Amino acid sequence: MLDVVWDMETGDPDDFLTLLLLLGHPQVNLKAVTVTPGTPDQVGLVRRALEWFGRSIPVGAHDLDHLPKSARDGGEPGEGRHGRRGLCVSSWHYAAFGDIPPSRDAAPGGEVLMAHCDESTTLVTGAPLKNLGAAMQLPGFRVGTLVVQGGFAGEGVVPPERQLDKFRGMTTCPTYNLNGDPRSAEAALVHPGIGARFFVAKNVCHGVSYDQEVHARVGALTHRSLSLRLIWQGMAKYLDKSPAGKKFHDPLAACCAIDRSIGTWAEVELYRARGGWGSRLMPGSGTWIITGHDHEKFLRTLTACPE
């Protein structure tokens, strides 16, 4: 079993679906969850998912009591594409899974990471690295493996035949999760308490989607897995509005954490330039970025069921 801590947000379906995946995956022991920015609506959503699986694990929030204004931009309670939305929770979450009450049952996110990460733990992040930034400020923080959904590998790192058309020839590109807290992202690249670093970046994850074919494959296994049943339920609602499918960034990152061989990796130095991020080959850096993936192996990991 792989010991995992999951750091998430709730602006779109990816992160919550990843939480559902990790809660029921037969190869994962989910130790804790942290959420950014950490509104009561977000904490309530995480708590409800834990209830479905009968789990009682720590939940951390970046700033439950003093949310910055940026946390509210585009996320005030109101109406969204699928109906009612909460503060930093998309309308899809409520349309897919029903009314979910808010909760304030969360500890400071940095402290949760400090308490539940160690040399044998994999921390997977699908949000701006605010909780990790807080943890790195605490003396003695350490984690064996960091898997970040974010970053960019382009020209000079990704072979031309693997470059997506929209990124062809580019060396840098903005990336949401790293730009959400660039200081913490830069600190994570050099923090001595972090072992290996793996970045699941745009040139690959933007080519991975949950479409009707994947939906059918998941649907065939819903009787064997609560995770897959809930993922299927959520994506059925999403596909009603967007039948072409959904890019599946965070589930890809989680599956790469479970089975590293899904990805093809290059050892690099990540760098920030003019609001974008890039990478250059650097053997011995201890930082790896994805340059390709085995799609069938990803799907097998995504749909793994308990015996």
Round to whole Å and give the CA distance between 254 and 124: 7
- Label residue 72 by pLDDT band (50, 70, 90): very low
> Is the predicted pLDDT of residue 154 greater than 90, yes or no?
no
Look up residue 80 and give its DSSP letter: E
Q: For the residues 188-197, what does the mean pLDDT come to?
A: 97
CATH of range 2-302; options 1.20.1250.20, 3.30.1330.40, 2.60.40.1480, 3.90.245.10:
3.90.245.10
> Is the predicted pLDDT of residue 130 greater than 80, yes or no?
yes
> Is the predicted pLDDT of residue 239 greater than 90, yes or no?
yes
Could you state, in order of their start, the residue ranges of all structural domains in the chain?
2-302
Token look-up 């730009």 returns: 179
> Is the predicted pLDDT of residue 82 greater than 70, yes or no?
no
Q: For the residues 51-62, what does the mean pLDDT come to?
A: 96
User: Could you tell me the end-to-end alpha-carbon distance of the chain, in angstroms, rounded to an integer?
Assistant: 14
CA proximity to 302, closest of 252, 238, 244: 252
> Is the predicted pLDDT of residue 207 greater than 70, yes or no?
yes
> Is the predicted pLDDT of residue 80 greater than 60, yes or no?
no
- More confidently predicted of 86 and 70: 86
Q: Is the pTM of this model over 0.85?
A: yes
Per-residue confidence (pLDDT) for residue 169, from 0 to 100: 80
